[in-house]
Structure 1
Amino acid sequence: MTSADLLADAFGRIKDNVHAAVAGLTRDELSARLDPGANSIAWLAWHLTRVQDDHIADVAGLEQVWTSAGWAARFDLPFDDAATGYGDEPADIAHLDAVSAELLLGYYDAVHAQTLGYVAGLTDADLPRIVDTRWNPPVTLGVRLISVVDDDIQHAGQAAFLRGVLLRRR
């Protein structure tokens, strides 16, 4: 198994988890929150996808799928196109209340395809490349990719938890 295979497997597991958390839910279920300050499944799925899109496009030297494939226009959110959800307040989270499972999963799948296309060409020699000098120590490509995997897994797990709570309430 190569580094590229390992990364593809990790991102594939995220895809499975995102689909399991989102598929088949109504807009009301996607936008439900456990309390007024909590995240919704819709926001969690959108945010983890935006982070993956932003970070992978940056290290790959590609345009984000969000803008290049028209997803920003389809979502029609009142955010700057560069927004990924970091620092969002409850009012920001509420802007995702109208999105459907199909829209969320369509965007996720498009980002996933770009991610897999990128990681498929990576070798072990690529992973030590410095991609962000704003940190001490500077961030390597390998660390950035694992950071994206970690962030996405956490948010997909949060969305799965919320789905379980909601489905028990049906």
Structure 2
Amino acid sequence: MNSAELLADAFGRVQETVHGAVEGLGADELSVRLDGEANSIAWLVWHLTRVQDDHVADLAGTEEIWTAEGWFDRFQLPFSTGATGYGQRPDDVAAVRVDTPALLLGYYDAVHEHTVGYVRELSEADLDRVVDEAWTPAVTQGVRLVSVISDDLQHAGQAAFIRGVLRRR
């Protein structure tokens, strides 16, 4: 297994976790917040997908799936097209509501497909390409992708935890 295959496998595990957290839930369950400051499943999955979309599009030099495939219009959220969830407040979290898991999973799966298609074509040299010199050491493309996977798995795990709490109530 080479590095690109390893990254594709890791993103596949994120997809499994996201689907496990979201499938079969209704709109109310997706929007539940365990307290007034907590994130909902809908917000967590939207956010992790937006960040992955933003970061991979930047690395690939492509337009984000969010705008390129019309997901911004489908979600009808009160945010700018560039919003990814960073720095959002509790009222913003509450604004992320979806009628069906199909909307969240449709966007997530479109981003996943783009991501895996991109990472499968990367060489070892591509992974060493510096993409952000603002850090010490500078961030390489490989490090950025591992960071996205780490962030995704944390948020997908949080969504799975919330699902578990809701199902036990």
How far did 1:97 drift? Answer: 2.4
How far did 1:127 drift? Answer: 1.0
Deviation digits for residues 141-168 of structure 1 (CA, Å, limit 9, x no counterpart) = 0110000000000000000000000001
Identical pairs, percent? 65
**5+ residue gaps in structure 2?**
none
> Is 1:50 the counterpart of 2:46 in the alignment?
no
> Is 1:39 the counterpart of 2:39 in the alignment?
yes
- The CA distance in 1 between the partners of 2:47 and 2:85, in whole Å, is 5
**Helix, strand or coil at the partner of 1:131:** strand
Contact 1:60 1:118 in 2 (8 A): yes
Letter in 2 for 1:72: F
Deviation digits for residues 111-154 of structure 1 (CA, Å, limit 9, x no counterpart) = 00000110010111111101112222221001100000000000
> Is 1:161 the counterpart of 2:157 in the alignment?
no
Letter in 1 for 2:166: L
Contact 2:75 2:98 in 1 (8 A): no
Letter in 1 for 2:29: E
Q: How does 1:67-146 map to 2 (within 5 A)?
A: 67-146=67-146
Give the TM-score normalised by the residue count of structure 1. Answer: 0.97
Contact 1:30 1:97 in 2 (8 A): yes
Letter in 2 for 1:89: R
How far did 1:99 drift? Answer: 4.1
Name which of structure 1's ranges 95-104 and 43-52 shifts more when overlaid on structure 2: 95-104
CA-based RMSD of the aligned residues comes to: 0.8
Structure 1 segments, 4+ long, off by >4 Å, are none
**5+ residue gaps in structure 1?**
none
**Helix, strand or coil at the partner of 1:37:** coil
**Helix, strand or coil at the partner of 1:34:** coil
Letter in 2 for 1:143: V
> Is 1:4 the counterpart of 2:26 in the alignment?
no
Matching residue of 1:66: 66
Deviation digits for residues 14-67 of structure 1 (CA, Å, limit 9, x no counterpart) = 000000000110110000011000000000000000010000000111110000
